[in-house]
Amino acid sequence: MDTARPATRRRGRPGHDLDAVLAAAVRLFNARGYDATSMFDVAEALGITKSTLYHHVSGKEQLLAMAVDRAVDGLFEAATQVQDQQTTATVRLQELVRRSVLVLAERLEFVTLLLRVHGNSEVEQHALARRREFDALVTELVKQAQAEGGIRADVDPATAARLLFGMVNSLVGWYRPERGHPETIAATVVRLAFDGLRTIDTTDDQGVQEEQ
């Protein structure tokens, strides 16, 4: 009796597995733009034929989908890890920002590509929908932190969430491994961001006004 054999991951020439193909495609998408990059360009960068390239993927759109998913998946993995922590919402928000910086540093080229997506195709629209889902998650965490008094309540939660991750996402423009260890960069981002969001002691403000 025939037994079903488990699906195996197809491989092309040695050194050109799916991860290598994806990495080459993402580098080209970022350097030339997605629309300006052809499957021939990807194959040429890898030193393989187009037929070998199609052994791995069905086309350029699949490469884009895999690439942006790699970036968004990292953010949701960080969010899941943070949600499982038994601590305050403020600490969880800080930890989410810290872990997101680490995701960006680890998957820099993938996150860079994600941030350039504008919704011009079904794949891009799906990526934007997932980003909005993540934004909503961050906004809810900001609300919880405000409710418990951990961060200032005079800032709109959605605005605070966008500003926090605007700071995180800005790293794609300048971060390189030689600029500093990811953990150090992450700690700096958290410190700068949350020192500006902490609850204000109004008695201190009153004291300053009285002195003036």
Contacts of 49 (CB under 8 A, 6+ apart): 43
- Specify the pTM: 0.82
Give yes or no for a contact between 175 and 185, defined as CB atoms under 8 angstroms apart.
Answer: yes
Give yes or no for a contact between 64 and 123, defined as CB atoms under 8 angstroms apart.
Answer: yes
Alpha-carbon span 183 to 180, nearest angstrom: 8
How confident is the model at residue 142, as a pLDDT? Answer: 97
- Residue 191: alpha-carbon gap to chain centroid: 20
How confident is the model at residue 25, as a pLDDT? Answer: 97
Token look-up 């969001």 returns 197
Give yes or no for a contact between 139 and 158, defined as CB atoms under 8 angstroms apart.
Answer: yes
Hey, which residues does 151 pair with through a beta bridge?
198
Using one digit for the tens of pLDDT, what is the confidence trace for 196-210?
Answer: 766 656 554 444 344
How confident is the model at residue 179, as a pLDDT? Answer: 87
How confident is the model at residue 98, as a pLDDT? Answer: 97
How confident is the model at residue 84, as a pLDDT? Answer: 86
Task: Return the HEC string of 14-66.
Answer: CCCCHHHHHHHHHHHHHHHCCCCCCHHHHHHHHCCCHHHHCCCCCCHHHHHHH
Using one digit for the tens of pLDDT, what is the confidence trace for 35-70?
Answer: 999 999 999 999 999 999 999 999 999 999 999 999
Question: Which residues in the chain land under pLDDT 70?
Answer: 1-16, 197-212
